[in-house]
Amino acid sequence: MIKVGITGCDNLRAAELVRLLINHPDVELMWAIDHSGEAKRLDHVVPGIVGENDLVVNDDVPHSGVDLVFTCDARGRQSRVLESLGLADDTRVIDLSGSHNLDHGEDKPWAYGLSEMQRRVLVHGTRMVTMPGNAAVASLIALMPMARNLLLNSPLDLRVAMGTLGFPCNDAGHPVTIDGLDAEQWVAEQRQEVAMALKLCQSSFNQPVDMSITPLGERRTLAVAARFSCGVDEEMVRQLYEQYYHDHNFVFLVDRPIVTADVENTNKCLIHLEKDETRRLLTVHAVMDVLLKGSAGNAVHLMNLLFGLHERVGLSLKATGC
């Protein structure tokens, strides 16, 4: 069994992670910490798990006796929290806090946690993994086959639509902060992350990346429409996507517009291609659940890779169907 701890257990992504981990057949959740410091039952913090777990949050237990720690703390607190735990040198860490990105120093201790880009790295002794932002996840999944084939040679227009669980708004409909950033700062960070990741995949990539974000009615859904010039015909593009993702467990190409029920409450990212041959424009639509494939589900997927488990273990989840 993989012994696991969670820090920052007082937000939506942490709650979703708990729900996955307590039902994972190869995981034992040993402890959880939130920022209140007050001892309380985990099922008082995480809705929907009454009768499934009797763990106490902030219980006075040793925090070093685990194989893996998920950090879900507020941005910037992660390093201090890890230092306070006194973890063994071989303890693995998956950071969901957004405290790191692709540019994190010369020694680069943090591997980038996107399996569709870094799977070989993640299965070979990686200890510390930083999670991408959820808009970056969908954008990069939409663009990775083109980047790997050196076909991103025009400006990129990324239009992100995100449900209220990821893009909260106040009663007047105006967006409030996302992960501690205002909407403009968050978009700028996600745009930079996408550009840096694409540069790693296609060294010749030097095109401007424009990103916009709008709220979406469906609470859990995140959708990206990535539009760019493409001189390759539609059938060839389809083959490139099918070849790239044929051995990936959670990304699927579909030949119709994607509906919410296709992805909600699953760890899937679905892709739909739309080619305008007249204007030589390709639009790649990528749709996923913002809390699963965009956050907690991706974190469990990464854990499975780090510990040599099948990628789908604990992630055969139920779609809404309506």
C-alpha dihedral, 118 to 69 to 251 to 314, nearest 10°: 140
Tokens 């699927």 belong to residue: 252
Whether the pTM exceeds 0.75: the reply is yes
Q: Does residue 24 have a pLDDT over 90?
A: yes
Question: Which comes out higher in pLDDT, residue 183 or 247?
Answer: 247
* Alpha helices by DSSP H, the chain: 12-21, 42-45, 78-85, 115-122, 134-148, 183-201, 234-245, 297-306
Closest to 39 (Cα-Cα) out of 18, 61, 56: 56
Tokens found for residue 25: 């057949």
| Residue 177 clears pLDDT 70, i.e. is over it | no
Specify which residues 110 forms β-bridges with: 128
Residue 268 — very low, low, confident or very high, per pLDDT cuts 50/70/90?
very high
In this prediction, residues 89-113 reach a mean pLDDT of: 76
Residues forming a β-bridge with 276: 281
Kindly report, residue by residue over 25-60, the tens digit of the pLDDT. Answer: 999 999 888 877 788 888 778 888 887 777 787 877
Supply the pLDDT for residue 169: 60
**Lowest mean pLDDT, pick from 5-19, 167-181, 200-214, 215-229:** 167-181
Strand partners, 157: 210, 227
Closest CA to 31 of 83, 75, 85: 85
Distance (Å) of CA 4 to CA 1, 27, 322: 9, 7, 34
**Spatial distance between the Cα atoms of 234 and 245, rounded to a whole number of angstroms:** 17
pLDDT at 140 over 90: yes
Band the pLDDT of 174: cuts 50, 70, 90: low
pLDDT classification of 187: cutoffs 50, 70, 90: confident
Q: What is the pLDDT of residue 125?
A: 78
